[in-house]
Structures are given as C-alpha cells and as structure tokens.
C-alpha cells in the first residue's frame, strides 16, 4: 500500500471514517492490471461521509501540509500529505444541464457513485483497512478481466452528460489495451457534437495524454475515423488522401501517424516535457503539406516551403488549443526546422553552427524527429544519413556558448559606426555579421575586424 494511504488509514482509526474509506478509480484498476508495479501518486478516496470533514480531520491531525481545499458543490476536497495531493470525494450521484458538463451533485450510495463514473473498470474500490476489492456494479472485475471498455450506464447518456468521456474512451482503450463494448463507439458517433461544450484546454490535455500513451498512432486513427478532428483541428482532415509520391508510400495522414509511432519509440526514455514537445512536433510536422502541394512540369509532387507554412499553422492550432507561448514556440520551431538538415549535398560546419544557434537545447529533439521521419519513408528509400550530421553537430558542440554565434557588434555599435537610426536596417546588418561569424570569417569577439568588414561592405554597396 502507498505510504500516504497507510498514514491516512492510521489517522482515521476510531473515527466514523474507519471501515468507510476506499481508494477508487485508476489506482485500483492499475494495481490489478500491473500488481508488480508500485502504486502511483494519483490517489482518489471515496467515503459515504463528508469529504470536507475528512479533510479537516487530516489537517487538524497535522498530516496535511495545506488547509483543506473544498468544493462543496461537487462534494470534493483536497489535502496534501508528504507532498502528494489526495482527492477526497463524498459518494455522490450527478445530474447535468443540457449546456454544461458541470454536474449537479447530491450525496449517494456507493452503487450510485459507481454508476456515475465514466467506465466500469474505473469504478472499482479498495478498502483502506484491508479486505477484498469492492465491485459495487458487480461487473467491473469481469470487464477488466475480459479486457472490455464499457460505461456503467447507457453510453449515449454517459457521453451526453460529460462529452469529454468520449475522448477518454479512446485514450483508455489504447492505454489499457481494451476492446470497446459493441455499443460504445456508435454512441460516440451519435453524441460527438456535444464535445463543443468542452473547453479546448480539457480537449488538448486528453490529446496530449494519447500522444504520450500506448499506441498513439492508433489513438489518432480513431480520433480521425470517429470525426473528432473536425472540431479539434479541421486542418488535419486535408491530410487524408493527400498523396506524396517519390519517397513516400503513404498519404500525408498515414505517414504522419507512422512518424508519431516512430517518435514514440525513439523518445520513450526522454523527460516528459521534452517527449511531449517531440510528439506534438511529430503530429504537426507535415501539417503544411496539403496547402502547399503542387505537381511540377515533370509530374512530380512537390511541397515547397511546407515547413514554413506548417510552422504558422502549428502556431494557430496550438493557440486555439490554449497552449502556452513557450510550448507553441518550441513545437513550431521543430516543425519549421524538420526539413533543413538535407537541403544540400553536404552538411557543413557552418550549417551545424546554424542548427545549434537556432535550436539550442532542442537540437537533439530535432535530430530525433528527423530520424522518425526518415524511418517512415517508403521501405528501401535512402534520403540521407544522419550519422555524419550528428558527428558534425557534436564537433561544433551542443554546449557551445550562444555568444559564439553572435555578432561582434551589437545594435548600438552598428548605429554609432554607420550613423543609421534604430530600425530594420540595423538588424539586417547585425544579421550579416552573425553570418560571417557562423561561416568562420569573423571571430565572435573580434569587434575591430567586424567594424572593418562593415565599412568595406557599406563602401562596396
């Protein structure tokens, strides 16, 4: 048992909560599916008593590091014990208004509480004071053993009440390797438009969890097949049937899903945030292909500047999804850069310097994205070897200080030298000096040589 649960169990001895407090939801489910793994920190507890009173009890006993956070409308409370947030819930039943996914809540029995949950496999309860798993529905253990994803109530009713559960159905289906009950996906199709009442933040979080979970390419396939991209991002629908020719054996959509699959494999050991950026970049890397597709005079399909167009489309969609500007910037940078490593026959030292300058800490993630993309081309096709590129970047040095690739003269020095006012022309001249540094013609600290080069350049214009 998780140490925090042991602490709570001891704290409620001799109180009305003894014998009436259960661990519920994903922690119970995962403990049955993977008993060899330690219990995670996602801890939800349910009681027929008052969750607010339980939270106050844990606070008064000095166990919670924060005063109770209570949500009386929903019958929930939250405490923090040993650095872990624990949600406390009064057993409840719910009803919903047509235009909202926020429930009206009243206290209820454990069976009624189980009936309002999203899926039967998430309704199992483990008593804190020991004893067998409690299955209020009487079907949850059987569904889990059979590998079936089913809603406790009629699925159309379940999804109408809380439309986010439709996305959760896809996520759990692939995360847990379950088969949907026969009535599950028809109900999703029938109630799909209800997703419009859900905030994009909640929708985005579910999509990101799918990307970071098991079989993200299959989860994406089901999102498309069930018609969700019309609401999530209709731009993706134009990938379907968008043929690529030459190096590709798949249309843009199926190629994208294969890149996502390969990216998941290649980033399995990456830090969570870095992996999220990589998976989003894999999803978006060819978003710009459909609007840039042309057939040249020789009959070849071309996608000129698709990476630039794709980066702007990525920014627009991720803003719609309410991601932070930092997150948007990283993903868009990767999308814009994914095509740059093989634009010439040789990858020069100057090219490596530009990659390191532009990508910085995301250089390795770009290389991983490119590797996933290459692995998704037509079998037998060889478009380039990443090994010499990696070697060249290593030679330049990922840890090289950024000033190594900066202009020896800042904007003030350029204005003093040229007499120009602040404006775009000063920025352009600074960029030219930066390029000379990258090409190895100027040292990053050699201001005198930079002044001489600038004067010669201006004299020759």
413-427 pLDDT per residue, tens: 999 988 889 988 988
351 within 8 A of 439, measured Cβ to Cβ: no
- At residue 133, the pLDDT reads 94
* Fold annotation for 1-146: Beta Polymerase; domain 2 (3.30.460)
Convert the pLDDT of each residue in 109-128 to its tens digit: 999 999 989 999 999 999 99
Q: Which helix (H) or strand (E) covers residue 88, if one does?
A: strand 84-90
CATH class for domain 233-400?
mainly alpha
Residues pairing with 87 in the sheet: 44, 78
Domain boundaries, the chain: 1-146, 233-400, 411-460
CB count in 10 Å sphere of residue 297:
5
Picking from 53-57, 172-176, 246-250, 270-274, which range would have the lowest pLDDT averaged per residue?
246-250
Task: Examine domains 1-146 and 233-400 and report if their fold is the same.
Answer: no
Alpha-carbon distance of 379 to 375, in angstroms, equals: 8
- At residue 100, the pLDDT reads 63
Q: Highest mean pLDDT range out of 111-115, 394-398, 436-440?
A: 111-115
The vertex-78 CA angle with 71 and 324, nearest 5°, equals 85
Alpha-carbon distance of 70 to 77, in angstroms, equals: 4
Rounded to the nearest angstrom, the gap between the alpha carbon of residue 200 and the centroid of all alpha carbons in its chain is: 13
403 within 8 A of 371, measured Cβ to Cβ: no
Convert the pLDDT of each residue in 154-171 to its tens digit: 999 999 989 999 999 999
**DSSP per residue, 132-189:** SPB-TTSSHHHHHHHTEE--SS-HHHHHHH-THHHHHHHHHHHHTTPEEPTTHHHHHH
Residues pairing with 46 in the sheet: 22, 89
Picking from 293-297, 417-421, 441-445, which range would have the lowest pLDDT averaged per residue?
441-445
329 within 8 A of 298, measured Cβ to Cβ: no
Q: What are phi and psi of 106, to 5 degrees?
A: -135, 155
- At residue 41, the pLDDT reads 81
Task: Name the pTM for this structure.
Answer: 0.85
Tokens representing 94?
């719910």
Tokens representing 107?
């206290």
Rounded to the nearest angstrom, the gap between the alpha carbon of residue 314 and the centroid of all alpha carbons in its chain is: 14
- Name the residue with tokens 């920190």: 41
260 within 8 A of 282, measured Cβ to Cβ: yes
Percent of the chain clearing pLDDT 90 (strictly above): 62
Length of the chain: 461
- At residue 438, the pLDDT reads 80
Question: Given CA atoms 196, 280, 351, 417 in this order, what sign does their dihedral have?
Answer: positive
CA atoms within 13 A on the CB side of 355: 29
Alpha-carbon distance of 247 to 238, in angstroms, equals: 20
pLDDT interval class at 398 (50, 70, 90): low
Alpha-carbon distance of 53 to 146, in angstroms, equals: 38
- At residue 103, the pLDDT reads 64
Convert the pLDDT of each residue in 302-361 to its tens digit: 999 999 999 999 999 999 999 999 999 999 999 999 988 887 778 888 888 889 888 988
The vertex-405 CA angle with 403 and 407, nearest 5°, equals 80
pLDDT interval class at 206 (50, 70, 90): very high
- At residue 385, the pLDDT reads 83
- At residue 441, the pLDDT reads 83
Residue 402 has pLDDT above 60, yes or no: no
Mean pLDDT (the chain) is 90
CA nearest 120: which of 147, 85, 95? 147
Alpha-carbon distance of 178 to 219, in angstroms, equals: 12
Alpha-carbon distance of 207 to 164, in angstroms, equals: 11
Residue 108 has pLDDT above 90, yes or no: no
Tokens representing 21?
């407090």
- At residue 23, the pLDDT reads 95
Picking from 242-246, 287-291, 439-443, which range would have the lowest pLDDT averaged per residue?
439-443
CA nearest 138: which of 129, 150, 128, 130? 150
Convert the pLDDT of each residue in 348-368 to its tens digit: 888 888 898 889 889 999 999
Q: Helix-strand-coil percent breakdown of the chain, rounded to 5? A: 55, 10, 35
Alpha-carbon distance of 461 to 456, in angstroms, equals: 9
Instruction: Tell which wins on pLDDT, 33 or 74.
Output: 33
């Amino acid at each position: 048992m998780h140490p925090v649960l042991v602490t709570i169990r001891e704290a409620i001895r001799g109180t009305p909560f003894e014998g009436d407090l259960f661990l519920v939801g994903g922690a119970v489910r995962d403990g049955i599916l993977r008993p060899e793994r330690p219990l995670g920190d996602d801890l939800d507890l349910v009681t027929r008593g008052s969750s607010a009173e339980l939270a106050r009890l844990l606070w008064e006993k000095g166990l919670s590091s924060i005063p109770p956070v209570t949500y009386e409308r929903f019958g929930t409370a939250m405490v923090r014990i040993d650095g872990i947030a624990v949600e406390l819930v009064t057993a409840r039943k719910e009803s919903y208004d047509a235009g909202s996914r926020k429930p009206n809540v009243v206290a209820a029995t454990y069976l009624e509480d189980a009936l309002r949950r999203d899926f039967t496999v998430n309704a199992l309860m483990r008593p804190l004071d020991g004893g067998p798993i409690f299955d209020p529905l009487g079907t949850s253990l059987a569904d889990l053993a059979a590998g079936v994803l089913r809603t406790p109530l009629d699925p159309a009713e379940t999804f109408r009440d809380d439309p986010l559960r439709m996305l959760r159905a896809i996520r759990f289906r692939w995360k847990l390797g379950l088969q949907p009950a026969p009535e599950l996906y028809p109900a999703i199709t029938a109630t799909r438009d209800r997703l419009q009442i859900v905030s994009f933040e909640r929708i985005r979080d579910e999509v990101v969890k799918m990307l970071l979970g098991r079989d993200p390419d299959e989860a994406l396939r089901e999102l498309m097949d069930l018609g969700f991209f019309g609401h999530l991002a209709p731009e993706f629908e134009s990938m379907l049937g968008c043929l690529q020719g030459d190096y590709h054996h798949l249309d843009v959509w199926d190629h994208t899903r294969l890149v996502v699959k390969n990216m998941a494999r290649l980033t399995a050991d990456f830090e969570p945030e870095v992996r999220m950026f990589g998976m989003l970049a894999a999803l978006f890397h060819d978003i710009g292909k459909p609007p840039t597709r042309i057939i040249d005079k020789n009959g070849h399909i071309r996608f000129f500047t698709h990476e630039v167009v794709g980066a702007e489309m990525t920014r627009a969609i991720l803003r719609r999804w309410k991601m932070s500007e930092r997150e948007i910037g990283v993903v868009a940078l990767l999308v814009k850069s994914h095509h740059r490593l093989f634009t010439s026959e040789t990858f020069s030292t100057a090219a490596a310097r530009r990659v390191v300058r532009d990508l910085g800490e995301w250089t390795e993630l770009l290389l991983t994205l490119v590797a996933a993309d290459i692995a998704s081309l037509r079998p037998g096709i060889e478009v380039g070897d990443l090994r010499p590129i990696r070697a060249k970047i290593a030679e330049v040095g990922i840890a090289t200080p950024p000033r190594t690739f900066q202009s020896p003269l800042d904007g003030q020095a350029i204005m003093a030298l040229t007499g120009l006012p602040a404006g775009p022309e000063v920025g352009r001249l600074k960029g030219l000096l930066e390029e000379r540094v990258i090409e190895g013609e100027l040292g990053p600290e050699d201001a005198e040589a930079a002044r001489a080069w600038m004067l010669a350049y201006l004299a020759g214009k």
